Structure 1
Amino acid sequence: MANINSKKWFTDNDYTWYEKLGIKILNAGGNMPKHVGFITDGNRRSRKQYNISQREMHLRGFILMTKFMKLCRDFKIEEISYFSFSIENFKRSLDMNQSIFDVGTELFNCVPIEKEKFDEMGVCLRVIGNISLLPLDFQQSIKDAVKATEHNKQLIVNIVLSYTSHDEITHAIGTILKQDGELKDEDINEKLLEQNLYISKPLDMIVRTSGETRLSDFLMWQQKNCVIHFNKALWPQLTYTDFFNYLLLYQRRQHKFQNH
């Protein structure tokens, strides 16, 4: 594992030989999902299991997230979305949430510093959700990070913060109602709503950790035809092998549908 005190978004850790082989085999098979979502559940249980601080817990989750960013890029997946903090999480203790906001601010402040690496990797960082609910210094660090990477095209990484699907759809409707001109009945359709959502690209696959079999109001509109995998591992424990297997199952499913 990378240095737990590191706040780098990209480390120099390379793949093992069998991970490199897995990447080659799956890439040769084609039919890779274009948009993958991760519901990153299990951090708090991980903290109790390993008897670590809140800060270390959040950094372990961050390190795994950045590893999967690199892996998804190498699989030529176009977009990934990490569900990191729900609006419902504001009901948790102030101490728990403040720890998330403090670490998050530090991590996003590192993005402009690592801009050259983001450019080299072609990673465009976006933050999705009702950002106005977050502390002001956190909001500013998010804006600076997003601005620093907005021109990159190879992989879009959505950090889903202060979010629920209910809030996203409510926001989209409000945006539509504020648009100039009077809407006619025939103007109201799915395409109009999708154009005003935070994320328009439909999900192809979701991975949820921690053994929970709930979707927790995560990108519900975008799940029109989505494969969902529930993994018993806590978020910091999800492995490359788990993800390889899910991608292989996705490819087999797509191949089956194409031949029927």
Structure 2
Amino acid sequence: MFLQRPWAWLQNEITTRARNFILKVLAAGPIPRHVAFVMDGNRRYARMHHKAVQQGHSDGFVALRRMLEACLRLNVRCVSAYAFSIENFKRSEEEVNALMAMAEEKLVELCGHGDLLDEYGVRLNVIGKQELLPASVQAAVAKAEGMTAHNTRAIFNLCMPYTSRDEITTAVQKCVRESKDCCISEKDIDAALMTSLGGSPPLDILVRTSGVKRLSDFLLWQCCEDTQLQFSSTYWPDFGLFDFIPIILDYQRKVWSKSR
């Protein structure tokens, strides 16, 4: 036991230093302002590893923390993650209840003193139809957003329960209510979107895991002509730095090629 602990610590230290060095090298090149993740494959990952579905979602949260920290170390200004679709309420009551309980627990954890968002000065925005969430989760959302509202270094948009069609519809309705001359522009709708909270920049990269190649009603308005779509065959709980590095390098290559 005495020998195992120092060796495990040394392995972890080497891994951490190697990760930080790689991220520092990558950060020397052009870095996207806004990266979004469709965190797909939790349930298939769970089945493949003979785990309960709830454990697959829990492992997916670990992956989210891992990728959020990697993005923050790269100085990405904004990270958006598709955590729960409005359509996901159609899943089994057991799975939905487990996801809601985990969301409440992890929101409290994320915003704890000295945790990731506090350490990196990140503002949390939970965007979506919050009134569909259980009252206890809504309370956790309000507390978490309030605790991070003063942070200005970066933005983390946690999309739950969310669909892009609902976001766009809500934005247009808001514009109609507030319009005085019945003339609504693209800029008006853009300013009324949920991602306008905290000043989220335009979307540069959208990553979807698990090999599925579709947007699934996520950030449809924000996907502009310059947004790079990246699809990975890795299930989300297994997605890590070595899956992300080629995506960042591809982004940098395209930015450099444009500047020539």
Superposition TM-score, scaled by structure 2 size: 0.88
Distance, in Å, in 2 between the alignment partners of 1:37 and 1:143 is 22
Is 1:236 the counterpart of 2:234? The answer is no
The one-letter amino acid paired with 1:35 is: H
Contact 1:207 1:229 in 2 (8 A): yes
Which string of whole-angstrom CA distances, capped at 9 and with x for unpartnered residues, describes residues 60-111 of structure 1?
A: 1111111111111110000000001111111211111111001111112334
Q: Secondary structure at the match of 2:160?
A: strand
Matches for 1:1-260 after TM superposition, within 5 Å: 15-29=15-29, 31-112=30-111, 114-117=112-115, 118-179=117-178, 182-185=180-183, 188-200=184-196, 201-224=201-224, 225-259=226-260
The one-letter amino acid paired with 1:25 is: V
What is the CA distance between 1:15 and its match in structure 2? 4.7
Contact 1:123 1:155 in 2 (8 A): yes
Question: Higher mean Cα deviation, 148-157 or 75-84?
Answer: 148-157
Gaps of 5+ in 1: 1-11
What is the CA distance between 1:24 and its match in structure 2? 2.1
What is the CA distance between 1:184 and its match in structure 2? 3.5
Which string of whole-angstrom CA distances, capped at 9 and with x for unpartnered residues, describes residues 215-250 of structure 1?
A: 101101101020011100110011201111110110
Q: Secondary structure at the match of 2:252?
A: helix
Q: CA RMSD in A?
A: 1.7
The one-letter amino acid paired with 1:97 is: V
Taking a change above 3 Å as real, the CA distance of residues 161 and 13 of structure 1, as seen in their structure-2 partners, is: farther
Taking a change above 3 Å as real, the CA distance of residues 14 and 66 of structure 1, as seen in their structure-2 partners, is: farther
Distance, in Å, in 1 between the alignment partners of 2:130 and 2:103 is 13
The one-letter amino acid paired with 1:194 is: D
Distance, in Å, in 2 between the alignment partners of 1:229 and 1:40 is 12
The one-letter amino acid paired with 1:136 is: A
Distance, in Å, in 2 between the alignment partners of 1:51 and 1:104 is 23
Distance, in Å, in 1 between the alignment partners of 2:195 and 2:70 is 22
Aligned residues: 243
Identity value in percent: 35
What is the CA distance between 1:183 and its match in structure 2? 2.5
Superposition TM-score, scaled by structure 1 size: 0.88
Q: Secondary structure at the match of 1:85?
A: coil
Residue of structure 2 in register with 1:9 after alignment: none
What is the CA distance between 1:45 and its match in structure 2? 0.5
Question: Higher mean Cα deviation, 205-214 or 192-201?
Answer: 192-201
Which string of whole-angstrom CA distances, capped at 9 and with x for unpartnered residues, describes residues 136-164 of structure 1?
A: 11111111111111111122111111111
